[in-house]
Amino acid sequence: MDNANRVVIVTGASRGIGAGLVAGYRKLGFRVVATSRSISPSNDENVLAIAGDIRDRATVENVVAAAKERFGRVDTLVNNAGIFIAKPFVEYTQEDFEAVTGTNVTGLFCITQVVLAELLSQQSGHIVNITASLVDQPLASVPAGLAALTKGGLNALTRSLAIEVAKRGVRINAVAPGIIKTPMHAPATHDFLAKLMPVGRMGDVQDIVDAVLYLESASFVTGEIVHVDGGAAVGVG
């Protein structure tokens, strides 16, 4: 199928990696449904921006219905929306737990279930989950138990779903970023964070976009977790 006829839904699309993914898919010719809790309308007629919280099943159903109404189909879902809170485990509050699991687990479950049903019905499609490298190689200087709990589970889900649907035309993959220059990290922290990466620098949003777009075209790859982390998953440099 020509890329101009293909449609991708990107969650957490308002800034950082999500905004980069919207731009990257548009360069490939995809039509894009960009959703986030707060997102501005797009001037590009091939980008449909929808504000809403994917923890709400009604929001998810609205996003998918709007994608089909505007563009006729859905071919790819990129689960980019996520919350990261770094603090010692005993200092997490119930509010922290509910915020992180709400987006990283409940929201992802809702939109993946609805989109996957669409992809299975057409016997084609692709889902990419954005996880986190530190769930495979934790850092004592960045305590992130809730990320391990949620994103680690997402790694397992990626493999499980990939096998479940492998013979039905749908691929499921993941990209596990290291520390990336996004609005999440204040510029004052960049020098410190760069030193945590074995290659000595933080990653750029484009590094993640390139990995996702590689997976988009890699028709023989499924169940894969691609680490884009400057070697962090291997060990401390």
Domain assignment present for 235: no
Domain assignment present for 188: no
CB neighbour list of residue 96: distance below 8 Å, 6 or more residues apart: 85, 87, 146
Question: Residue 237's pLDDT is what?
Answer: 59
Question: Residue 141's pLDDT is what?
Answer: 82
Beta bridge partners of 225: 174
Do 194 and 202 form a contact (C-beta atoms < 8 A)?
A: yes
How does pLDDT run along the chain (237 residues), one tens digit per residue? 677 789 999 999 999 999 999 999 999 999 999 999 999 999 999 999 999 999 999 999 999 999 999 999 999 999 999 999 999 999 999 999 999 999 999 999 999 999 999 999 999 999 999 999 989 888 888 899 999 999 999 999 999 999 999 999 999 999 999 888 887 778 888 888 888 888 888 889 999 999 999 999 999 999 999 999 999 888 765
Domain assignment present for 117: yes
Do 55 and 107 form a contact (C-beta atoms < 8 A)?
A: yes
Do 86 and 144 form a contact (C-beta atoms < 8 A)?
A: yes
CA distance 97 to 127: 26
Q: Where are the beta strands (DSSP E) in 85-230?
A: 125-130, 170-177, 225-228
Beta carbons within 10 angstroms of residue 131's beta carbon: 28
Residue 114 domain boundaries: 3-177+204-226
Do 149 and 85 form a contact (C-beta atoms < 8 A)?
A: no
Domain assignment present for 87: yes
Domain assignment present for 49: yes
Question: Residue 64's pLDDT is what?
Answer: 97
Torsion angle of C-alpha atoms 107, 108, 111, 114, degrees rounded to 10 = -120
Domain assignment present for 32: yes
What count of Cα atoms within 13 Å lies in the side-chain half-sphere of residue 18? 23
Number of residues that make up the chain = 237
- Residue 92 CB-density burial (10 A; 0-12 exposed, 13-18 middle, 19+ buried): middle
Q: Residue-wise over 149-167: b if at least 16 C-beta within 10 A, else e? A: bbbbbbbebbbebbeebee
Q: What is the pTM of this model?
A: 0.95
Do 48 and 63 form a contact (C-beta atoms < 8 A)?
A: no
- Residue 21 CB-density burial (10 A; 0-12 exposed, 13-18 middle, 19+ buried): buried
Most distant CA pair in the chain, distance = 51
How many structural domains compose the chain? 1
Question: Residue 118's pLDDT is what?
Answer: 97
CATH of the domain at 161: 3.40.50.720
Domain assignment present for 182: no
**DSSP class of 10:** E
Give how far Cα 8 sits from Cα of 16, 74, 125, 177, 200, Å: 17, 6, 10, 20, 33
